[in-house]
Structure 1
Amino acid sequence: MIPNLIDKIGDWNPQLLRELKGRLKFFNVAIAVATSLLLQLVVFLYQFREFPNDQYPLVGTYCHLRQVYELQQKEVYQESNQSKIADLSSFLSKNFCAQNEIDWQLWWRDHWEYIFLTFSVIFVFTLLVAGTYLLINDLAKEETRGTLNFIRLSPQSETSILTGKLLGVPSLIYLVVLVAVPLHLWAGLSAKIAFSYILSYYAILAASCIFFYSAALLFGLVSRWFNGFQPWLGSGAVFLFLFTTMVLASSYNRHGLNNSTAWFRLFNPWDTTNYLFPNLFHISNGSPLKNYQFFYLPLGINVVSVVSFHLLNLGLCSHGIWQALKRCFRNPQASIINKKQSYLLVAFCQLMMWGFALQFGKDDYRWDEQVGQNYILLALYNLVLLLSLIAVLSPHRQDVQDWARYRHQEVSSHKSVWQDLIWAEKSPALVAIAINLTIATIPWLVWLSLTFVIDANGVKTLLSNDIDRFKALLVIALSISLMMIYATIAQLILLLKTPKRSFWAIGTLGAAIFLPPMILEFIGISSWKYPTVWMFTTFPWVAIEHAGLITIFMALLADLSVLALLNFQLTRQVRLAGESATKALLAGR
């Protein structure tokens, strides 16, 4: 039977068979099973330190007489009679709850619930942290030994190979967890936890594993320069993320989920697990997910909507990561995503960030005020996202040279230059960055066009006045022009012949983005005192309230002039890069 099963696994996924044969040896399996059984015994016995013995107090949680003596204590303390207080305290310290007065059924229920919740936490950390470490470490070893290139030459598909890695590399971790699942399931049912809730937890745990393991594989493929430090860096980042989000989930903070940052909490399993099992973190007000909203849709009204949205988010993000994995596995030099995928990514991020920014607050804020409270977060998210896309999409010199020199020889030569700039991977990324900026700007334009305020007479009017609205539009245009300037600078640096162009581009953009505002703050030039100066930094929107309309307009004209000059130089460099060697020699270059 076992040989037949092995043959079926080999026929379905040869890479999985290779991984399982290398790991599921007798000694490794014995250690994994023994570790799981020992852990189960320790967790089961640990709770017995609070076993109600012959000296269990009368006011203990599980004593039937508890309410009677607590009522007496309350009455005595209200009288403030010190002698009666002393007598009652002496009586309670010398007398204990009889065994027949202990609620054993409640004690065992809480005991099983403790075991269930303890293993729920252990499963998350064991699977996500240890599994992430093993996957990244395996890719690092394969890269060092040179076997990863051999696997790339395999006729198997990328999906088959990576699935085999994902299922086979953490197989011993799976075994440790699977051996503990029967006790975990039995404990949950004994604690009167609904079976559907337990299955929902397993579904969330499985989806989290797929997401984090996929991200670990991608990190292992694109982080070869860390020289063996990748496993500790990746697993440490996952551990820090899980620990931080567990601390956040263990404290009831309704407003922590009432802004655009709520989307990032969907990537941790704690909030949804706490929603399923309210005693996980002993929060008196229950899970804050009860107030969860997405574009005002009340997601937290029932378990189905909470779990479904959590799984949908992890599923979509995992699918996106797998598209990047397929690109990077066969060709390590390829960019993580192409231009078409970048448009979908930006649109998806805008949908999620704006969806969680628009929620009913404590005082039922209007939607325009909610966006006003989230605009700094939204702007920062988009800044990080678009800068990342500039780094990912901008091609290097050789790619641009190939595109410019051989574009007319391709079969699809009937395509226009603009079509190539929008879709082709080796073409300069300026047009693609502009399209992504447009996608990110559309929600802001909708907000500005529909925003209103209520005056003293209770009449809805436009946002302050038309001048303020026009100022906001100019600042958006100013931000777009700055991002285009950064994208052009990055592309120009990547076209140089100097070595380590990527590091030069990152350093230059980092200095251009962060040094000016840091220097201005250091020398005391604040945005509210000198708004004109801040109009020329990366963060012009911090000075919009204090800047005049003419100031913003002049800053925009200056940025557009710089952008035009940079693009003129970029066009010239691309044309020169596309010249043949013979033509360049005849021209004296």
Structure 2
Amino acid sequence: MMVNLVDKIGDWNPQLFRELKGRLKFFNVAIAVATSLLLQMVVFLYQLREFPNDEYSLTATYCRLRQLYEPRQNQLYQQSNQTKIDDFNYFLSKNFCPANEIDWQLWWRDHWEYIFLFLSVIFVFTLLVAGTYLLINDLVKEETRGTLNFIRLSPQSETSILTGKLVGVPSLIYLVVLAAIPLHLWAGNSAGITFSYILSYYAILAASCIFFYSTALAFGLVSRWFSGFQPWLGSGAVLLFLFITIQFASDSSSDLNNSTAWLRLFAPWDTINYLFPNLTRVYNGSQVKNLEFFFLPLGKNVVSLVSFHLLNLGVYSYGILQALKRCFRNPQASIISKGQSYLLVAFCQVMIWGFSLQNWQNSSKFYGQFEPNLIFLAIYNLGLIFSLIAILSPHRQDVQDWARYRHQEVSSRKSVWQDLIWAEKSPALVAIAINLAIVIIPLLVWILITSVFYTDNWLNSNIGGLKVLLGVALSVSIIMIYATIAQLILLQKTPKRSFWAIGTIGVVSFLPPMILGFLGISSWKYPTVWLFSTFPWAAIQHSGGTTIFMAFLAELSVLALLNFQLTKQVKLAGESATEALLARR
């Protein structure tokens, strides 16, 4: 029967058969099962350390006589009578709770609940961290041995190969977890946890695995310059992310009424804490119950919250898998196309703004919370746009092919603007401008609404709508200048152009503000200088409208000169050898 099953797997997915055949050997399986059983025994025995013995205190949690002695103990502590306190403590030390007065049913229920929650946390860390490490390490080994190129040349579809990797590489990790599932289910049932909640937990765990594993594969394919350090870097990043998010979930004062709630949805902790409130020993369910998305009360019931969590992970997992299929056969291709970048940016804006527009009805509370939200919005979008500049900007050879052979392709019937918007080998400046427009449109709509309907808000009183619009224009122009500089560097013939482009943009973006801060040139004393930095918003409140407009014209002039130079470089790159010879170049 097992042979037939293996044969069917080989017929259905040869890559999965290859991965399972190399890993599911008797010794490896025995080690995985033994490790799982040992872990279960340790967890069970660890929880037994507080088993009530003959010296169980009268004021302990599970003693039914606690209600008789605990009020007296609290009363003595309030009176601060140390003599009576010592006498009472001496009485408690000589008298213990009788065995027939211990609530054994409650103790075993809590005991099984602790085991269930402990295993739930172990499952998350084991699957996500260890699985991420194994997937990235497998890609590194395949790349080192040269077998990855043979896999690329195989007639299997990209979906079949990637599915085989996702399921087969962490198969031993799956085996460790599956061997512990019976105890996990038994503990949950004994603790009185609703079975539908347990199934919801498994669904969230499976969706998280698909998302993180897909991200791990994408990271392994596009980060070849890290050499053998990739597995540690990838799994370490996942471990750090899980630790940070579990701290947020454990903090009862943590507020979900901001755009960071979207990032926290990529970790399973908040939803799991909603399902099992005792997970972090801090009941943070009230925060999650107030969670809204475009005024839709997600936290009102389990179905809406879990469904939205799964939808968020599912959409991004699908997008990452599409990117993997795109760059798997051709490692030199960009991980996403220009058209896909528009969808990505638009979806990110929907998610970010959906969690940022809560408490609209209470204007004072809304603006008090939305002002810091603007900082998160700026950070998210700045990182997103910079990432797209690095991903979408083509190198010299691609631009040369596009400029030289465009007239020979069917796409020549299209206008140059259509090529700049959609063609992959064309310069990315128009695509970056479109993505910036997608980012800016919701902000402009929000500025318009607040200026019209809330004339007494902090925006109008502290900055002014016109200054904000000029500040948006300044931000767009400076980012377009950075994108043009990056494209110009990538068109050079120098080696390691990507390194120089990233380094140059990093220097011009963050070094000037650091120098200004180090020299004590503050934005309120010298606002004009800060208007030309990556963060002009710091000086907008302290600058006049005319000054901001003049700074915008200056940046627009620089952008026009850079684009004139870029157009010239593209034309030169697109010349044929004969044209260059006739022009004596």
Give the TM-score taking structure 1 as reference length.
0.96
- Between the aligned partners of 1:515 and 1:199, the Cα distance in structure 2 is 50
Shift of 1:525: 1.0
Matched with 1:473 is 469
Distance 1:445 1:258, change over 3 A: same
Is the Cα contact below 8 Å between 2:251 and 2:284 reproduced in 1? Answer: no
1:488 aligns with 2:484: yes
> After superposition, what is the alpha-carbon deviation per residue over 1:116-153, rounded to whole angstroms, capped at 9, x for unaligned?
00000100011001100100000000000000000000
Shift of 1:478: 1.1
- Between the aligned partners of 2:464 and 2:84, the Cα distance in structure 1 is 72
Larger deviation, residues 463-472 vs 486-495: 463-472
Is the Cα contact below 8 Å between 1:453 and 1:462 reproduced in 2? Answer: no
Distance 1:365 1:275, change over 3 A: farther
1:555 aligns with 2:554: no
AA at the equivalent of 1:140: V
- Between the aligned partners of 2:77 and 2:17, the Cα distance in structure 1 is 71
Shift of 1:89: 2.1
Is the Cα contact below 8 Å between 2:250 and 2:284 reproduced in 1? Answer: no
Shift of 1:370: 4.0
Shift of 1:381: 1.4
AA at the equivalent of 1:482: I
Matched with 1:359 is 358
Shift of 1:464: 3.1
Matched with 1:151 is 151
Matched with 1:425 is 424
- Between the aligned partners of 1:435 and 1:233, the Cα distance in structure 2 is 33
Matched with 2:575 is 579
Shift of 1:377: 1.7
Distance 1:247 1:285, change over 3 A: closer
1:182-221 to 2 correspondences below 5 Å: 182-221=182-221
> After superposition, what is the alpha-carbon deviation per residue over 1:138-186, rounded to whole angstroms, capped at 9, x for unaligned?
0000000000000000111101001000000000000000000000000
Equivalent position SS for 2:22: helix
Distance 1:388 1:79, change over 3 A: closer
> After superposition, what is the alpha-carbon deviation per residue over 1:498-545, rounded to whole angstroms, capped at 9, x for unaligned?
111111111111111111111111111110111111111111111110
> After superposition, what is the alpha-carbon deviation per residue over 1:288-334, rounded to whole angstroms, capped at 9, x for unaligned?
31221212222111111111111111001111111110111100001
> After superposition, what is the alpha-carbon deviation per residue over 1:234-272, rounded to whole angstroms, capped at 9, x for unaligned?
1111111111211221111242x2211111111111111
> After superposition, what is the alpha-carbon deviation per residue over 1:47-79, rounded to whole angstroms, capped at 9, x for unaligned?
111111111111111111110111232344456
Is the Cα contact below 8 Å between 1:135 and 1:166 reproduced in 2? Answer: yes
- Between the aligned partners of 2:463 and 2:98, the Cα distance in structure 1 is 79
AA at the equivalent of 1:168: G
Distance 1:247 1:470, change over 3 A: same
Equivalent position SS for 1:228: helix
1:227 aligns with 2:241: no
Distance 1:547 1:284, change over 3 A: same
Distance 1:82 1:552, change over 3 A: closer
AA at the equivalent of 2:296: L
Equivalent position SS for 2:265: helix
1:421-570 to 2 correspondences below 5 Å: 421-452=420-451, 464=460, 468-570=464-566
Matched with 2:67 is 67
Equivalent position SS for 2:411: coil
Equivalent position SS for 1:427: coil
Is the Cα contact below 8 Å between 1:33 and 1:175 reproduced in 2? Answer: yes
Is the Cα contact below 8 Å between 1:453 and 1:464 reproduced in 2? Answer: no
Matched with 1:127 is 127
- Between the aligned partners of 1:515 and 1:46, the Cα distance in structure 2 is 52
1:88-487 to 2 correspondences below 5 Å: 88-255=88-255, 257-284=256-283, 286=285, 288-360=287-359, 365=364, 367-368=366-367, 370-452=369-451, 464=460, 468-487=464-483
Distance 1:45 1:330, change over 3 A: same
Shift of 1:283: 0.8
Distance 1:576 1:86, change over 3 A: closer
AA at the equivalent of 2:306: V
AA at the equivalent of 1:296: F
Distance 1:300 1:554, change over 3 A: same
1:28-39 to 2 correspondences below 5 Å: 28-39=28-39
Is the Cα contact below 8 Å between 1:116 and 1:187 reproduced in 2? Answer: yes
- Between the aligned partners of 2:121 and 2:259, the Cα distance in structure 1 is 27
- Between the aligned partners of 2:202 and 2:254, the Cα distance in structure 1 is 26
Structure 1 gaps, min length 5: none
Shift of 1:104: 0.5
How many residue pairs align between the two structures?
Answer: 585
Is the Cα contact below 8 Å between 1:368 and 1:447 reproduced in 2? Answer: no
- Between the aligned partners of 1:329 and 1:570, the Cα distance in structure 2 is 31
Equivalent position SS for 2:464: helix
Shift of 1:393: 0.4
Equivalent position SS for 1:413: helix
Is the Cα contact below 8 Å between 1:339 and 1:432 reproduced in 2? Answer: yes
Shift of 1:579: 0.7
Is the Cα contact below 8 Å between 1:19 and 1:168 reproduced in 2? Answer: yes
Is the Cα contact below 8 Å between 2:135 and 2:169 reproduced in 1? Answer: yes
Structure 2 gaps, min length 5: none
AA at the equivalent of 2:572: L
Is the Cα contact below 8 Å between 2:421 and 2:430 reproduced in 1? Answer: yes
Equivalent position SS for 1:525: coil
Shift of 1:83: 5.0
Larger deviation, residues 516-525 vs 135-144: 516-525
- Between the aligned partners of 2:385 and 2:83, the Cα distance in structure 1 is 73
Equivalent position SS for 1:412: helix
- Computed over aligned residues only, the root mean square deviation of the Cα atoms, in angstroms, reads 1.9
- Between the aligned partners of 1:105 and 1:520, the Cα distance in structure 2 is 66
Matched with 2:20 is 20
Is the Cα contact below 8 Å between 2:357 and 2:370 reproduced in 1? Answer: yes
Shift of 1:586: 1.2
Is the Cα contact below 8 Å between 2:274 and 2:284 reproduced in 1? Answer: no
Shift of 1:206: 0.4
Shift of 1:90: 2.0
AA at the equivalent of 1:400: V
Shift of 1:462: 11
> After superposition, what is the alpha-carbon deviation per residue over 1:380-424, rounded to whole angstroms, capped at 9, x for unaligned?
211111111111100000000000000010123211111100000
- Between the aligned partners of 2:371 and 2:462, the Cα distance in structure 1 is 17
AA at the equivalent of 1:150: F
